[in-house]
Amino acid sequence: MFIVDAHQDIAYNHVCFGRDYRRAVYQTRRLEAQNGIVTPGSATLGLPDAILGRVAIVFATLFVSPRGVWQPKWDEPVYSDAREAYRHALRQIDYYHRLADESDRLMLLQTQADLDAVLETWDDESDITQHKQGLAILMEGADPIIEPKQFEEWYERGVRIVGLAWSQTRYSAGTGDPGRLTSLGHELLDVLADFNAVLDLSHSAEEAFLEALDRYDGPIIASHSNPRKFCDSDRHLSDDMIRRLAERDGVMGIVMYNRFLDPRWAPGNSKTTVPTLTVVDAIDYVCQLLGSAAHVGLGSDFDGGFGAESIPAGFDTVTNLWSLGALLRERGYQEADIAAILGGNMLRKLRESLPD
């Protein structure tokens, strides 16, 4: 049994804060405290911690923000047009390639053979020193794709999962911007289908979300979206959206951000007010709604503009994701369903998309 985390902003954290993913979390925290680096909170991600927590596969993002949409307290890559978005995202994908080139514990997942090679290191006979982590590259917001046919370049560079929106993009309405897919969005879906890429519908406006479900024939996920019961905004999925996603054999990843799990929590509040069991509640809600554990997984979004202070009380680093297995077991879930939730469901969608 292992974990697939469907959303981590690893390259974004490197570009913004100089975080080296190969370092242990506590080493990163110590260096940032010593150097007075302004960050959104204490780091939670590091390869040694992930290996310890059996996080075998990560959907690792390319994320750049449209200029003026979000103004954090730290410097980050923002863009005013597609070419600027392209340049920023290129810098991030280069970081993933460099990580894979320089570390024998990391592999980019571009083919079935790559995936099998990583999973082989997690079989029952393997020692922890043999475990490798696979990174499947996810573009969060499609504006770095200069025009639909240019996706071929990104595919050759390793992108296997594409989210159409973050906020409004040239391809789709997004969070806070109700609306549909654009004509360019329709063209991009056709191109993505030619490559059998995974379509990520997190951050898509509801109308665009439903339209994409009807138009796209390839594998579909919502990498990091919670049920609206836990966060009633267009950033998350209504019961109807969850059902429609499941009808397409899609999978949604539960986000571990307190603000998305309990509407009473606000940045600056104690993390202790949101227990780890709230994550289990969100997972269970999806399973009960659908009568199946086949359409929910994990999309932690750890270090996605927030830190350890803003995640549930039982979590401090990515290692703690493993504790969800025991909590699901206590809730009455069987081993096969626990394995599917922790990793198998997202793995199924990734495997569907990878070429031989």
Domains identified in the chain and CATH numbers: 3-353 (3.20.20.140)
User: Which residue type, as a one-letter code, is found at position 47?
Assistant: L
Among candidates 320, 348, 338, which has minimal Cα distance to 55? 320
CA dihedral 264, 314, 226, 41 (to 10 degrees): 70
Phi-psi region of 258 (alpha: psi -120 to 50; beta: other; left: phi over 0): alpha
> Which of 83, 107, 101, 141 is closest to 304 using CA atoms?
141
Tokens of 238: 């209504």
Is 88 strand, coil or helix?
A: helix
Q: Which residues of the chain have pLDDT under 50?
A: none
Note whether 224 and 253 are within 8 A (CB): yes
State the pLDDT at residue 73.
76
Q: What is the DSSP letter of 121?
A: T
Give me the pLDDT at residue 74, please.
82
pLDDT score of 16: 94
CA distances from 245 to 50, 51, 84, 211 (A): 29, 31, 33, 11
Give the CA distances from residue 27 to residues 9, 42, 44, 45, in Å, rounded to whole numbers and listed in that order: 19, 11, 11, 11
Q: Supply the pLDDT for residue 71.
A: 74
pLDDT of residue 69: 83
Query: Counting Cβ atoms within 10 Å, is residue 75 exposed (0-12), middle (13-18) or buried (19+)?
Result: exposed
pTM above 0.95, yes or no: yes
